[in-house]
Amino acid sequence: MDSISATEAAHRAASDAERIVWVDERDQVLGGLPRAELRQRGLIGRGTFILLFNGAGQLCVHRRTLSKAIYPGYWDTAAGGMVQEDESYALSASRELAEELGVAGVALREHGTFFFDEPGNRLWCAVFSAVWDGPLRLQPEEVLEVRFIEPRQALAEAQGGAPFCPDSLQALRLYLGQA
């Protein structure tokens, strides 16, 4: 079992207690449930994925911390997370981008939704993108490191066996028109 800091443990406990939007297979809202209960019961929540590009068109990919409940240590092609009970997809996307990468006040473009269904990770997902050339402020409980690469390089690395989050890869494919 990985050892985690007290700060990471507190963050994990708080995120497990968050009330997440609970939806059905058609993305119709059924209510809100704690994150841990949603996962334990195999129910469907909502998530956001924000593809962050620099002005040269390179995609920001980040490596998740080892304390993450799902896909620990994996590369992620998008900032994002679960939509809280009182949020829209867009509000969640804006909040998550600010929390994880320190990017706020940037225009978000919507690119559609998709359903992702894997044991322990059942989500209706909304995909957004943004362009940012300013500094990043990484959330230490979420992000170990970042790098900017060509979007198709992320797909190639994943196909070659590099550990990438499958849900954010699907978001990238939707963005690239390959979904």
| Binding site members for Mg(2+) | 96, 100
Query: CB under 8 Å, gap of 24 or more: what pairs does 26-32 form?
Result: 27/113, 27/115, 27/124, 31/85, 32/84, 32/85
β partners of residue 71: none
Joined tokens for residue 171: 């978001």
**Annotated binding-site residue numbers:** 96, 100
Give the closest residue to 85 by CA, choosing from 158, 29, 153, 15: 29
Phi and psi, residue 139, nearest 5°: -80, 110
Residue pointed to by tokens 């559609």: 112
